[in-house]
Chain A
Amino acid sequence: MTKVILIDDEPLARQIVKEYLAAFKEIEIVAECGDGFEAVKAIQQHNPSLIFLDIQMPKINGFETLELIEKKPAVIFTTAFDEYALKAFEQNAVDYLLKPFNQERFEKAVKKFINSNSTLEKGLRGIDNYSSNQQIEQLESVPKKHSEEAHRVVVKNGTSILILPTAQIIYIEAYDDYVKIFNNETFYLKKKTMSYYEEVLDPMQFIRVHRSFILNLNYLTKIEALDKNNNLALLKTGAKIPLSRSGYSKLKEILNL
């Protein structure tokens, strides 16, 4: 049996997926969720191999929900927003269904999942692109920056989920495959790259000052010279951040020094 979870804040939208899925005897719906928080919990509990995911949902959107899941299942996005398609395929989505969709189109998406699942060894799924380039080219290109991500970061704190406005982020530090996002009290781990945040966050506020550090300019109090080639940024919280040579000159340029 293939375990599936439906995530959509509109009950009727879940109902239609459920109805279409009835044609697949080998698929079992283990949970239905009306928002991202429920979804994160349900996915952890059931460990499904496929989820149907809406994008616009209460509090946290579909992409943010996905970020919070460690062992990612295959995803078929279902949404009325065609502008997120490119981003969806970047997240290795199996397919992207535009509401309203018919049964034929829906079954094509599910079969795509089943086929790719049987050809790949279990557990190796997710790395290969399910999507063909052709499909991406058909979609209008969209700006990579979605305003939600530019204004907030969704993080996990134990079992609870936190929405962190970017204004509260003091700095970000690279940490192996993760980054540590520091606020006033503590830090949160997130499985993202430094370059991702460099790109997504407001470049006038968040400066990549070092290979391993991005700092929020609003918290900068002082730049200290250690010696000729080494500088430190002193933050309001007392934290000290090393500046690389290029980071130092970038900082100087932005501060008009």
Chain B
Amino acid sequence: MTVDKLPTRMQLIAALISWFIIWWGLQCFVIFQIFNNINFAFIDASISLGLTLIGISIIYFVQKYSGSYINNYGTRFFFIIAIIAGIIFSERLILTGLYSGSDFETMFNTTITIRLVAAFLQITFFSAVLWFLYFVKVQNEKNSLKFDAETTLRQAELIKLRQQLQPHFLFNSLNSINALVVSEPQQARKMIQNLSDFLRGTLKKDENKNVPFSEEINLLKLYLEIEKVRFGHRLAVNFNISEDTLNLKLPPLLLQPIVENAVKFGLYNVLNQVEISVNAHVKNNLLAIVITNPFDESTAQSMKGEGFGLSLIQKRLHLIYHRTDLLVIEKNNSIFTTIILIPQA
């Protein structure tokens, strides 16, 4: 059970005050009907209301500071009985102090039923309300804890995914550099530079801070530059980025795994030349990024890892924007298209 919208503090206080005013008026009326003394009715109702308020406060504080101890049926029942008895007893003590005489004693005894009923209704009602609020609070705490745990888990998954993908990329790139050192030292140097810039770009990113799109594009270009050296003529890359997207912001490293997937999927699923395209434009206050790679339908279903990275991205987008329609996948004419939509504030 969750309660999303609790009334505001002011609304709650106003409701309580009106409740007690009505109750006080009612009690005045009843006592006045019996004794026909308005002065006495006011004082009597005020005292009993004051004592009731003290009783409710005691329940409130005991519940707040005793934790769950009071929250079993037996304890609570006896606690309520004790409070009611305390109210009646104190009422009698105060009133007899104010008005002495045997007349008054008999009068008090004739009204004791009414007094008991009034105290019982008030105390049980507020005890129930407080108990209910206590459960709501506990439940909400549990839920938020669960939510936190889930968020942490997702983040851990993302980090794990990134670590899973990168070592192979890193080792293969180093292997290429190893070959280039002798045959093309200048190219080797450039590759080392690209690799360093790329790694630096991925390492220092704070997950929760949005970055300019231009920065992410530069990172993608570095990554694809490295892959082009590794795979030579087989890999072609095509960027088509509209000018007005460059300053827009998006969560960091969101595109990187998609492009990595596209490259892997393209290279390992198709024999010939592989063209990866990255397009971006603005539409309806959304930054739309479209990434395509070729694929072969006949063997695609048996490729491992399809959609594995994508489902994590879906989850991440959901966590950030609370929407599930921001990642779209299309397959046609042996082209696999991934579309990412980033809402702009």
Interface string of A9-37 (1 = CB under 8 A from B): 11111011001000000000000001101
Partner of B176, one of A12, A56, A147, A163: A12
Interface size range of chain A in the complex: 20 to 34
Interface residues of B, dominant DSSP:
helix
CB-based nearest A residue for B171: A80
Interface residues of A, dominant DSSP:
mixed
Kindly state whether residue B183 has any CB partner on chain A within 8 Å: yes
Q: Is the pair B175, A13 in contact by a Cβ cutoff of 8 Å?
A: yes
C-alpha spacing A247/B299, complex, angstroms: 32
C-alpha spacing A21/B225, complex, angstroms: 29
Q: Is the pair A163, B229 in contact by a Cβ cutoff of 8 Å?
A: no
- A175-211 contacts to B, CB under 8 A, are none
Decide: A12 near B271, CB < 8 A? Known: A148-B302, A165-B301: no
Q: Across the interface, which residues of A come within 8 angstroms of B296, CB to CB?
A: 59
Interface string of B166-193 (1 = CB under 8 A from A): 0110011011111110110000000000
Q: Is the pair A19, B299 in contact by a Cβ cutoff of 8 Å?
A: no
Q: Could you tell me how many residues of chain B have their Cβ less than 8 Å away from some Cβ of chain A?
A: 30
CB-based nearest B residue for A98: B171
Kindly state whether residue B147 has any CB partner on chain A within 8 Å: no
Interface string of B136-159 (1 = CB under 8 A from A): 000000000000000000000000
Q: Is the pair B268, A12 in contact by a Cβ cutoff of 8 Å?
A: no
Partner of B175, one of A9, A100, A147, A166: A100
Partner of A81, one of B168, B180, B230: B168
Interface string of A217-235 (1 = CB under 8 A from B): 0000000000000000000
Q: Is the pair A10, B172 in contact by a Cβ cutoff of 8 Å?
A: yes
Kindly state whether residue B53 has any CB partner on chain A within 8 Å: no
Kindly state whether residue A152 has any CB partner on chain B within 8 Å: yes
C-alpha spacing A166/B301, complex, angstroms: 10
Kindly state whether residue A99 has any CB partner on chain B within 8 Å: yes
A residues at B contact (CB < 8 Å): 9-13, 15-16, 19, 34-35, 37, 56-59, 80-81, 98-100, 147-148, 151-152, 163, 165-167
New A-B contacts (6) at CB < 8 Å, excluding given A58-B269, A81-B168, A152-B302: A10-B232, A16-B175, A19-B179, A58-B267, A98-B171, A167-B301
Can you offer 8 A-B residue contacts whose CB atoms are under 8 A? A13-B172, A15-B183, A58-B269, A58-B271, A59-B268, A59-B269, A99-B174, A165-B299
